Each structure stands twice: as C-alpha cells, then as structure tokens.
Structure 1
Amino acid sequence: MYGTFPDISISTERLVLRPLEDADVPAYTEMLNDEQVVAWTSVPHPYDEAHARRWIGQDAPAERTEGRGIVLAVTEFLTQRLVGTLHLHHTDWRIRSTELSYVIAPWARGEGYATEAARACTQWLFRDQKFERVELRTAADNAAAQQVAQKIGCVSEGVLRGAWIARAKDDRDLWTDVRTDLIVWSLLPEDFEGVGEYADWD
C-alpha cells in the first residue's frame, strides 16, 4: 500500500516544524559540521553548502513525494532560528510504521527542543496520519538520544549488536569509524494516551 505525507507545518508552544527552505542552508550546514552530529550520524564530513542545497532542494522533497518519509526543520517560534531537524524515514505504509530521528544544533541543546519536537510529531502521526508504530534507534553510547526516547514515552525493545558505525577521533585528532550497538525503541498509540496536547498542524 502506497502513501505519502502531506506538506505539513506543526506548531508547538515554542517551536514550528516546517519543510526545510533554501534560506536554511547556512545554519543547516553549520549544524551538520558539529562534532556530536558527525559522531552519531552518517552525514558526509566535512559537510558543505553544496551538500545542504542538494538535500534541501532535491533529496528531502523527494522522500516526501515518493512516500519514503518527511524531513522537517525545527525552528524557534519567536526568533524563527533553525534549531534542528526531524526526519521520518523507513516508512511502511502497509503497517503504518516509520522511524524517527533528529538532530539538534549545539547552540540549542539543553532546552528540551528534541523532546518537544518529537512529541509533537508523534502526536500528529498517531492522531492525524493514523500511524500505529514509531521507532527510534539510538547508539548504545549516545546517552542524550536515549534520554529523549525515554522522555517521549518510548519502550526499549532490545539491542541490535554491532548494527551501526559511529565516528570518533583518534590520537591524531582524525575521525575514524567505530562499530557500535543500536538500542531499538518504539512508541505505539496506547503509549501516547494521557499525554497532553503539544501541537497544532495545518
């Protein structure tokens, strides 16, 4: 069964989740060159504005129109500053399931933005899109990502041994690949019951 996500904007008390725009290229490029992003994601490094323009102008829109997922900029409501991105991918429309991942800029960490954005997005998925499962996968040593999964109510389902390649700096201050385990988390509609309203969408 084929489906696709709508062109959506989601608003919370502090945030607006919207499609990425060309104007986001400089901030997005800077964010993806942060050491924590390099360490825990598979983005190219160094990440330049050509990478950002291709992702924002071509690859991310294609994910939505082809039904594979959706990429949303996470911006502050008051300042409109880009503070992160949220990505739904590996979407299965037959079983109404998708995987959620996110990146928060170093200048915006510690504010609860990842939790707020993830809650708003899962609320929209369950209530508006009638999804039945959201999955997160966090590297075993990425404590911050695990805390977000716990805060939004995810249940830990187990460990995929040696299932991810993280990156760490070696003695010469060069990035090197490091194999690591992944913790699988899931969120179902019944896990979300009792959670208050977090967002409006249009």
Structure 2
Amino acid sequence: MEQSLIVPELAAGRGFVLRAWRLADMSLVREAAEDAYIPLTTTVPSPWSEPAGRAFVERQWGRASSGAGYPFVIVDPDGRPVGTVGLWLRDLALGRASLGYWVVGSARGRGAAGIAVRAVAAWALKDLRIPRLELYVEPWNTASVRTAERAGFQREGLLREWQQVGSERRDMYMYSLLDGDRSSDPQA
C-alpha cells in the first residue's frame, strides 16, 4: 500500500481513547524500552535514548504516511498514554490485516489492551471492511492470549518457529477474527 493514511481518534470504551503518536509520548516509549519483552518483539529502542525514542515516534508517523498501517497510542481515562495497538495492512490485497499491541508494565491488568484491540478490530471490520484480521501470540503469554480471546479472536493453530524474538525463533498461536464472528458478540 502506498497511500498516505490518517490515523483517526477512536473512542475505545471505558474512557480509553486511541489516537496518533505524538512527540509528547516519549515517556511511554521510555517505559516500554525498559521492559524486558517489548523491545524484543517491536522496534522500541533498547537501550533508551532521547534520539532513539524520537526516531521510534517518527517511524510510527512513517507507517501511516507510507500506507503500511495505523499505529495508535492507547490513552487511559486520565489522559496518560499506556500502550499501543497497530493495524498493519501488508496483506490487505489478500483480504487480511494484522494487529499488534503492547501495554507498559505500570498500566497492565486494567484491560487497556483488550479495550483497544476490540475497538480497532470493530473499526477495521465495519468501517474499513477488511474481511479478515489476524494476530499472533506466543503460547506462554497468557495475558495476551486472554486479550485476543476476549476481543473475539479465535485460535486457529500453532505456527512453529514462526517469528524471530530476540536471538531465537519462537512458536506463535495464530488468531483470526472475521466480520461474521462479531454477529454473536453482544459487545460488537
């Protein structure tokens, strides 16, 4: 995809909001950089530095301007950025898109990821009319498994050594969500 995208602001429920990245989100990038896992599976810089944090935010802008996808910041009801969720369009010509998400440690356990994933999935299926959404979760990551399943995604299988994480290849569960899956979801 080569068309520039505009990242909309989405009300995500329970007072959470999803919006485009800003340079003011550097404290979020700093906390994510200090996490033991987030930098292994993302482009969050580790070790942290101000120039590397700025480059990370600018990469998010570049993903939207290049048409690669919609990177959102998850903002809690108090106005604090607590994580991110992205809708990635690499396979859009094949009728599918993927989601990825993370929440910093100080904000975990409050449902932010699930609220954000549900909101982006609903928007992608209804407004963007993407037929199939996918996401990938490491089998050990029970919190992320719960997030995916509570957002309505269905586990399709185990992809062995699917993704490079740090210095090793790791298995991933593959999850999908189709528009028809939402019809039985009372929160859809």
TM-score of the two chains, using structure 2 as the length reference = 0.88
Task: Please give the residue correspondences for 1:162-181 in structure 2 after superposition, counting only pairs within 5 Å.
Answer: 162-167=161-166, 177-181=167-171
SS state at 1:35 partner = coil
- 1:63 equivalent to 2:63? Answer yes
Q: Give 1:36's aligned residue.
A: 37
CA distance in 1, matches of 2:2, 2:37: 35
Query: RCO higher in 1 or 2 (8 Å CA, sep ≥ 6)?
Result: 1
CA distance in 1, matches of 2:146, 2:42: 17
- The Cα shift of 1:151 comes to 0.9
Larger Rg: 1
Letter in 2 for 1:6: I
SS state at 2:124 partner = helix
Q: Give 1:173's aligned residue.
A: none
- The Cα shift of 1:194 comes to 3.6
Percentage identity across aligned positions?
A: 27
Q: Give 2:86's aligned residue.
A: 87
- The Cα shift of 1:126 comes to 0.9
Task: Please give the residue correspondences for 1:56-135 in structure 2 after superposition, counting only pairs within 5 Å.
Answer: 56-57=57-58, 59-77=59-77, 79-135=78-134
CA distance in 2, matches of 1:163, 1:90: 19
Q: Which aligned runs of 4 or more in structure 1 are off by greater than 4 angstroms?
A: 1-4, 39-42
- 1:182 equivalent to 2:172? Answer yes
Unaligned 5+ segments in structure 1 are 168-176
CA distance in 2, matches of 1:191, 1:4: 30
Q: Give 2:145's aligned residue.
A: 146
- The Cα shift of 1:166 comes to 3.0
Letter in 2 for 1:190: G
Letter in 2 for 1:99: S
TM-score of the two chains, using structure 1 as the length reference = 0.83
CA distance in 1, matches of 2:49, 2:128: 34
